Structure 1
Amino acid sequence: MTVAVDLGTTRNGDAAELDLEELLSTRLLVQGNSGSGKSHLLRRLLERSAGHVQQAIVDPEGDFVTLAERYGHVVVDANRTPAELTRIASRIRQHRASAVLNLEGLDAEVQMLCSAAFLNGLFEADRAFWFPMLIAVDEAHLFAPSMSGEHSEEARKASLGAMTNLMCRGRKRGLAGVIATQRLAKLAKNVAAEASNFLMGRTFLDIDMQRAADLLGMDRRTAERFRDLNTGEFVALGPALYRRPEQVRIGPTETHSKAGRPTLAPLPELAPEDLADLVFTASPAEQEAERRQARRGVPGFPPAAAAPSPDPAGPAVATRALLERVSQSPSISEPAEPDDPRSAEERAAAVDAIFAEMLQDPEAAFRPVPVLYQEFLTHCRLKRISGAATDMTAFRRRLSLARAGIGEATDDPEWQAVIERAGELPEEMQGVFMMLARAARDEAECPSDEALARAYGSHSPSRGRFLLSFMDERGLITADRDFRGNRVVTIAGTAWRTKLPQVALDSIDEARARRAARMARKSG
């Protein structure tokens, strides 16, 4: 069955038609600068063919979700896992549902991964569901870039591979690619080369005009024609369109993008000083966001929770009344443990054994404290240990001391003063501070950046350098470097100081010996 899709009119006023059945075998490439009408052309094609063929649209800006209201397309929110998108795509082919993959609001790299998972799901569907399907990809150069850019190589390869499968191998599986791009130079050649139908819109760059003329078999001297095209006008060529280049004008559409074309709006009528006040004065919401961002930037401070939105179901409850309700509510604590026949020393030894077992895991240093605390409670329940030893505060304190290699019970007054001073830091940083204090007390070398980051729970050496500067700025330590660049840390309020690396001392002694030998040879 031959279906003619009405795209608009030609320069002579005749109907500009596209052979839909031929398009399924030969694919389509649309090219034009931003604002030339590419998305409008795709919308016109999708609307006029919606009742004849199954469709799927990869929509990076959310422009085509309005098709769902008029033509029944299923809008697939791409904020899902790759496995979910692949399964959804497979069911779309199975049930022959038209769909719009909405990628709006996602980062470019995430959009590439989501589109790859979705297209792979369509491509890898079971052979029994290889029904004809039109796959429209707007801004195709985002998903099939001609060269690697700022995106990761993994995302680029996945997206480019899916687009290549669509355009090169999709025909036998019933998939017909319709791709739109701003510039042919941005689009991977393997993807662009498989299209046999072309609709070339307004283009200004010389190299793009020449390439478009070459694709359409036009004389390069007539390439200026692309610069004179109006919005919504395209030069068409291909087996599904025309055998010779023909200029067409795309007709109107029944649905429209949510954004639409930019229109002029009146400027605000405010005095310059009022406008300056609006520009330079942060709103209460912005001030609160800045405070939360500042807290996120300091190690050890958790992100501040966003202010809860008012509950429309009922009036807000005062804090005092809420506390009274909680205090009067029945307790849901765990049932009391039976009396432990073990002595305090035996329970302490059991807790020590649990800590030692947990810290033997090399990945324990990188797990969050709440996760480790839950594991600790599980071990305590198995060994029937309860009481103050399992308190969260005690656990954090003991974990910091254990990571620093310091015993919890110490009678040394200097150590007690250092431990109290560590309380000025965020809990996650206290163990790092005490690790430095132990190295300074033992006159050992300063721990490396990797060791400090590991004690903090990070894999990044730069985090270790930041922790040192953070403590130095707050007067808890003094971090210096010798003339060879070796770091020396002094704990404030004490005489504790890390020593220079032994290699550096040996090199100094060797230099002195060589200098003495030279002096001896000169005197002899």
Structure 2
Amino acid sequence: MKVGIEMGQVSSGPVSGGAPGTAAMLDLEELLATRLLVQGNSGSGKSHLLRRLLEQSASVVQQAVIDPEGDFVTLADRFGHVVVDAARSEGDLQRIAARVRQHRVSVVLSLEGLDAEAQMRCAAAFLGGLFDAERDYWYPMLVVVDEAQLFAPAAAGEVSDEARKVSLGAMTNLMCRGRKRGLAGIIATQRLAKLAKNVAAEASNFLMGRTFLDIDMARAADLLGMERRQAEMFRDLERGHFVALGPALSRRPVPIRIGPVETSARSGNFKLVPLPEQPAEDARDLIFKAGEDERAVRPAAPRRAPPPPPPSTNDLLAQLARTRAAAAPEPQAAEATEETRAERDAALDAVLREILEDPEAAFRTVAVLYQDFLVRCRIRRIGGEPLSLPAFRRRLAVARAGVDTATAEGTEWDRAVAFAADLAEDIQGVYLLLARAALEGAPCPPDGEIARACGSRSPGRARRLVAYMESRNIVVTRNDPRGLRIIALPDLGWETAPGDPNAFEEPAASSDSRDLFAVG
């Protein structure tokens, strides 16, 4: 069954498509399978467009609105939507979302009054409840997310990484996998550049409104299949005018003017009002003296700051190690001598070598290896302040380079370590590996060994890293007459012996490896 709703009228505009004055229809059946992206700067009419779509389809399909500002709660009086206040636990929101799908009730999730991180967590919990509903309740539903860049940001912001990940994961599930569960994602954003690309890329229908920044105009033109020189047209669009494209709207770009709506946002449109006329003395009294109605009112409680995010596992392990060292100090550790520091460094290096003996350790993240390292240090009761994560990264890069004790104690190797400290973290280990081979006169490491030094199994990644380092004049590569690779380090004045880049063999797994944090 084909069900169409009228979004407005086709208007005359800078793009050709459709006869001006005819109805601009949106196919709901097609929308359920292809999703919709709305983009426009503040004041371009995005909320008006969403309200028009929701009002026209309210009697046809179930709806859920993720409303960060509480603008859509007015749909409840006219169309029977149930307003869900998000000021409750995440578990409650998941259970409410499951019942919403079960009983096919249209709802508005009001996130008004919550800080940014709480909004992301609550929206993620609610979307997760809709997504994880039982198969018997997979009825068609429009899921409208206003200000989607808040819930699927393209880059990290002031919120914690955990909140961003769960919110972005929920939005990705909605747009990528929601179709098979009957969920049709409709997302609106002020700026395409601020919206995660993997979320925006899943939409097949687009309504692009007024925008001014070059990067947003260029992305809008690309999504609509228009030439770059036509992108300037988005600056000239009036409020409530959009360019539509997609299987549910039109097969080619069409300018449309959104029709009127029956409800309005609580905020409304702000109009200029003349300032009151009053003497300056009266104005000062109005500001600095409490009125009669204020004296009987209890002063408002100060707004509490949001609780800080929970500490990470790495922080907890480091805190436990510091607490143990402070509670039971070693009797002879009152004054750290050169001998005790050398013994401690040797013990730390021994722990690192034990971890790296496992061939799979090269492919585990630095965070997992750091947890393993802290636990092993506690088991061996290595005293002193635990290594910080940056210090662990530097020591790990040196350990992965495979330098022997005699070489590590030389002044030449200190030069290599000092130079590597100024490089990006993802190439420090590779640089030290090449430096060790050059210092020892060993053949140039093959691509597989270089890949292991950066935590990868891909020789292609090794080749890309070497090419990147060469583009930055960090290394210089050349081939000898036999086709073997030689890598020179100009800042150190060293170069490796010729080596075959394809001569790497994966080391056999050790039977007695004991990675405390290994998976599986």
1:250 Cα deviation from its structure 2 partner: 0.1
Out of 79, 90, 95, the residue aligned to residue 87 of structure 1 is 95
Out of 203, 221, 231, the residue aligned to residue 229 of structure 2 is 221
What residue in structure 1 maps to residue 251 of structure 2? Answer: 243
Partner amino acid, structure 2, of 1:91: R
Deviations 1:80-112 (A, max 9, x none): 111111000000000111111011111111111
What residue in structure 2 maps to residue 188 of structure 1? Answer: 196
What residue in structure 1 maps to residue 4 of structure 2? Answer: 4
Give the aligned length.
Answer: 296
Deviations 1:24-60 (A, max 9, x none): 0000000000000000000000111111111100011
Partner amino acid, structure 1, of 2:98: S
Deviations 1:204-243 (A, max 9, x none): 1122111111111111111111111110000000111111
Q: Does 1:174 align with 2:182?
A: yes
Distance 2:206 2:24 in 1: 14
What residue in structure 2 maps to residue 279 of structure 1? Answer: 287
Out of 43, 59, 62, the residue aligned to residue 51 of structure 1 is 59
Question: 1:279 and 1:178, CA in 2 relative to 1: closer, same or farther beyond 3 A?
Answer: same
Deviations 1:393-427 (A, max 9, x none): xxxxxxxxxxxxxxxxxxxxxxxxxxxxxxxxxxx
Matches within 5 A, 1:333-344: none
Out of 122, 125, 128, the residue aligned to residue 130 of structure 2 is 122
1:292 Cα deviation from its structure 2 partner: 6.7
Distance 1:276 1:218 in 2: 58
Partner amino acid, structure 2, of 1:80: R
Distance 1:29 1:76 in 2: 24
What residue in structure 2 maps to residue 153 of structure 1? Answer: 161
What residue in structure 2 maps to residue 266 of structure 1? Answer: 274
Partner amino acid, structure 2, of 1:235: V
TM-score normalized by structure 2? Answer: 0.55
Deviations 1:273-321 (A, max 9, x none): 3223333446685999779769x99xxxxxxxxxxxxxxxxxxxxxxxx
Question: 1:165 and 1:286, CA in 2 relative to 1: closer, same or farther beyond 3 A?
Answer: farther
Distance 1:283 1:196 in 2: 57
SS of 1:117 mapped into structure 2 = helix
Matches within 5 A, 1:38-117: 38-117=46-125
What residue in structure 2 maps to residue 37 of structure 1? Answer: 45
Question: 1:41 and 1:286, CA in 2 relative to 1: closer, same or farther beyond 3 A?
Answer: farther
Distance 1:160 1:70 in 2: 32
SS of 1:245 mapped into structure 2 = strand
Distance 1:163 1:154 in 2: 14
What residue in structure 1 maps to residue 396 of structure 2? Answer: none
Matches within 5 A, 1:395-474: none
Q: Does 1:140 align with 2:143?
A: no
Deviations 1:369-406 (A, max 9, x none): xxxxxxxxxxxxxxxxxxxxxxxxxxxxxxxxxxxxxx
Task: State the structure with more CA Rg.
Answer: 1
Distance 2:122 2:130 in 1: 13
Distance 2:137 2:163 in 1: 28
SS of 1:105 mapped into structure 2 = coil
TM-score normalized by structure 1? Answer: 0.54
Distance 1:192 1:134 in 2: 17
Q: CA RMSD in A?
A: 2.1
Identical pairs, percent? 70
Partner amino acid, structure 2, of 1:86: Q
What residue in structure 2 maps to residue 17 of structure 1? Answer: 25
Partner amino acid, structure 1, of 2:31: L
Partner amino acid, structure 2, of 1:28: L
What residue in structure 1 maps to residue 432 of structure 2? Answer: none
Distance 1:194 1:85 in 2: 26
Question: 1:293 and 1:115, CA in 2 relative to 1: closer, same or farther beyond 3 A?
Answer: closer
Question: 1:184 and 1:278, CA in 2 relative to 1: closer, same or farther beyond 3 A?
Answer: same
SS of 2:278 mapped into structure 1 = coil
Partner amino acid, structure 1, of 2:8: G
Partner amino acid, structure 2, of 1:3: V
Matches within 5 A, 1:348-387: none
Deviations 1:194-213 (A, max 9, x none): 00000000011122111111
Q: Which ranges in structure 1 are unaligned for 5 or more consecutive residues? A: 298-524
Is the deviation greater in 277-286 or in 168-177?
277-286
Partner amino acid, structure 1, of 2:47: S
SS of 1:44 mapped into structure 2 = helix
Distance 1:262 1:158 in 2: 36
Question: 1:206 and 1:292, CA in 2 relative to 1: closer, same or farther beyond 3 A?
Answer: closer
Q: Which ranges in structure 2 are unaligned for 5 or more consecutive residues? A: 12-19, 306-520
